[in-house]
Structure 1
Amino acid sequence: MLALVSGLVLMQLLFVGVLTAVHAIPDARIVGQLASDLDAGLWVGSDEAVDPVTRGGRSDAYTDCIVITAGLGDDGINPLRSALTLPHLGSCQPAAAGISALLAGETPPVEATYARYWGGFAVFTRPLLAFGGLGALRIFAATAAIAAVAGLFFVLRRRTSVWVPLALVAPLALTTNLLGQVGYGVIHVLEFAVMVACAIGGVLAARHGMFLVGAVSVFAGGVFVFVDFLHNPPLAWALFAFSAAASFVAQRRSESHPVRQAIVAVVVASVGWIAGYALTWASRWGIGILSGAATFDEIAGKVALWTDGSGEEAVAAGLGGGIRKNAHFWLTFVPFAWLVLAACLLLVAIVIVVAVRRKAFPALGVAGVLAAVAVIPLVWLEVLPAHSQHHYFFVYRAIPGAVAVLAAAAAMFFVSERPRLTPARDARGSAGG
């Protein structure tokens, strides 16, 4: 436990150090690249650019412009202060005007600061923007996301079966706009790459026992909140918890009490991840308040806004508002959503029928425990109802995320039902074969 706490403390210090280093990159290099990209028409325009995937949806261009101008505009600020306050030039139109002003040697107003977030995306954005502009950043984000998905598919397939990662990835690939955000919301793609990479860490840790799964889950939650802008935490949480737990139980399916092992794996991975996420974010708030970069009232006000929602327009009161809003958007405006949902429910029905006919109730129990991870995104939508409803055009991904976990858990039934050879039997099989 002492080692875990020491590691968490060191991680916070490392985050501050890395952010300070990237904020020391000369702003002039970034400004020059962004000005060239501005002239070439690679960015700017509406803060609510049309989403290229969903019907009636929009891209998060607002946050995109904040992300690419993070750290700019505060003349004379030292790198540590810039890392702690995270100044930016604002949404798209003021950001474009700010870049033009900086290029002309003027000092534009800093629109706002985001000291309540770590802003770890700057580790990727500032170096890439300085040396390659928006093109380099977008290519890197897309490549990282595709490589991470391929990596998760490979490691999870090796430990379970090809159908489990396929069921986990397909709903996200077919019914979300994640990769389509490269042009108008690159931070979403970067966050997706990081969340999938963390899930790979969970799969690899599961091979070495539950203690390592718990430790890695805590650090995975912390790493994700470092880059996260409160876009899709429930998706990252569920993806990690399922991947780690499924890998753990698949490798121990020859042992007794499989359902109990599944419960322990799900609880450890889920609780560990959210603990690391919450502690690392609380650490950022503490650092911000102690350094004067943020105030307690500012942070408390935002927490109250997104959890209560009073004052926010079009926020339905009462239980279920967040789930209904996001499920309606997903099923109404996202292509293939109904088809994917129907396929998932059909798979679940088939598993139940097969389990009953074969009397494979332990394997069905394992699948049921893993399927419980699908509740995580739904709970998140209700804990932050105002945020969930106000930002439905990207938060909706929590719904297909839950469907993906449910489908992958159903596929795990066939993995759990198939007995795993013991090492001795493996050796005999190799000798005879």
Structure 2
Amino acid sequence: MSNKANTQRRRLMKTGSIPRVILTMSVPSVIASLIDSIYSLTDTFFISYLGTNATAAVSVNAALDRIIVLSGSMVAVGAGSYISRLIGAEEDKKADRVLSTVFCVAFIFGTVIMFFGILFTQPLVRMLGAVKSCEQYSIQYARYVLFAAPLMASNLVLNQCLRAEGSATRSMVGIGIGGIINMILDPVFIFELDLGVAGASMATAISKLVSFCVLIYPYIAKKSILHLSVRSFGLSVRDFTEIISIGSSSLFRSVMNIVSSIVLNNIAASISVSMLAAVGAAIRIMRFPFSILLGFGNGFQPVAGFNWGAGNYKRLWKSFQFSAFTAVVASTMMGIGIALSAVHLIGIFVQEDPFMLRYGALCIRMECLALPAQGWVVVVNMLCAATGNAKGAFLLSIGRQGLFFIPIIYPLAYFFGAEGIASAQAVADLLTLFLAVPLLMRMKKFMRTA
């Protein structure tokens, strides 16, 4: 990257209009997240034509995706936060070492997941919640996704580090192209080549390979602030501890997501395969608004980290206020629109199954009620991660799916059955507010007195 472009990017982060900077960083991230969610919905849409059991298999394998994300997210999120602060402090050489080291670590972790996942595919899908009627579909879907695990883990690092240096558009292109290719290949592989569920899995694996090639290109072609090189491999214990301390929040969030998915799948499957399919379809639909909130938060995070590293706390707080307000307003509007359309949305994935239609729509409506709270908590979580507040990021990460969701879903399911299962995530989202408010107050006090 030229020195002129480098200087312009730093100037934008330091002195640019706050709404302009955050929107400049957020829009590409939101678009990439939306494409990712749309291709996830596309998978479910085409597979739904294969029947309820095949749709249930997609729900089961959502937990497998989270296991693969786990293999790279800890180092990716920690590295992204650390790199944005290092660039803000103009320590680019150290940032290069962070990128090169965590890239290799993520690839190795993904390879381990691939090896053991392929070796133990059947017990793996059973553990994730597959019942006999959908087990073979789950195995077929898992096979090619596991082959792509090293690339998926590495993509997380490349994506986070591009965002951390302000290259949000390149990050968007990498994720977006992969998602579009997946949407194109899905109907071809599933129906034209008659590969069924395995075809959807194969399309996903190919799309991850394409994303990997696009995301790594700026580093190979030297079109980025950071440089990826084997010679830069290696970090001090102190630097690695810094990465892990922030990344541990992502690690535990991923662990809690996996555990909660397994718990949810097994409880839903104990009622019926239709309930399992309904919950899975609703989760994928709600990924659409959540991806917008997460993409917006990912745009705010490097701005927060940069200004924290530069010691500009006043600008950091103004950035948070703008981001939090925007997230709450946007999530409220999305929640109203999606709740009113819940039956029509879930109906896209239902092939003559009234039980799935009823409870899938209920899941969506309940989560929409808690969406504004979720939007605000996302921004607070990003603030904690960006500023190195490892404890705060950790608590918020485990709160939604760990501290609240797992303990409440059992009594809700026991006393209220399917209605309780449909309500569990919304209740957990609202309870997470009790963690976020005091954390924000402490950070606000620190920034005022620093």
* TM-score, normalized by the shorter chain, greater than 0.5: no
- Tell which structure's C-alpha radius of gyration is larger: 1
Superposition TM-score, scaled by structure 1 size: 0.32
